[in-house]
Amino acid sequence: MDNIDRMHQIDAAWNGRDWDAYANLIAPDFQGWMNGDTTPHNKEEHIRRGQAYCVAMPSNQIASEPYLELFASADGSKTCSIATVTATDSRGLTTRATLAVICHWRGGQIQQQREFICGEPFLP
């Protein structure tokens, strides 16, 4: 299995809220940055943020079949995915945003990740 396949797996785990499968694809020494972060957060914080978002926006889904773009570096150690994220908020309004995720993989797990969101996918 290559890291492109693993990218599909982690997004499928997110969409299915399979937090064990999601966590298994993240390295123990993970460092992540989201829009505006100036310092990295760790694996536990990354999973906590994801779960909190899914509680606030339970219908959110990452459109990964197909991605808008998905590619790997020449050596396969880095991936970049660009996908549409949709959700319905508490007022019944559908929100839509573009999510770009750049991952550095080591040993089948994400060691570092940078996420960029264009649009308003979070709570209004």
- Residue 115's domain comprises 3-119
pLDDT confidence tier of residue 124, bands split at 50, 70 and 90? very low
What's the pLDDT score for residue 66?
93
pLDDT, residue 120, reads 59
pLDDT (tens digit, 9 = 90+) per residue, 94-110?
888 999 999 999 999 99
- pLDDT, tens digit, 9 for 90 and up, residues 2-20: 999 999 999 999 999 999 9
pLDDT in tens, 16-28: 999 999 999 999 9
At residue 92, the pLDDT reads: 83
CB 34 within 8 A of CB 47: no
Indicate whether 54 belongs to any domain. yes
Q: How many domains in the chain? A: 1
Kindly state whether residue 18 falls inside one of the protein's structural domains: yes
Lowest model confidence (mean pLDDT) among 22-26, 71-75, 86-90: 86-90
- Please give the share of the chain, as a percent, with pLDDT higher than 70: 96
Per-residue model confidence (pLDDT) at position 123:
45
pLDDT tier, 57 (very low <50, low <70, confident <90, very high otherwise)? confident
Q: Is 45 among the domain residues?
A: yes
Q: Is the pLDDT of residue 72 over 80?
A: yes
Is 55 inside a domain boundary?
Answer: yes
Rounded CA-CA distance 49/51 in Å is 6
* 124: in domain: no
Domain of residue 67, CATH code: 3.10.450.50
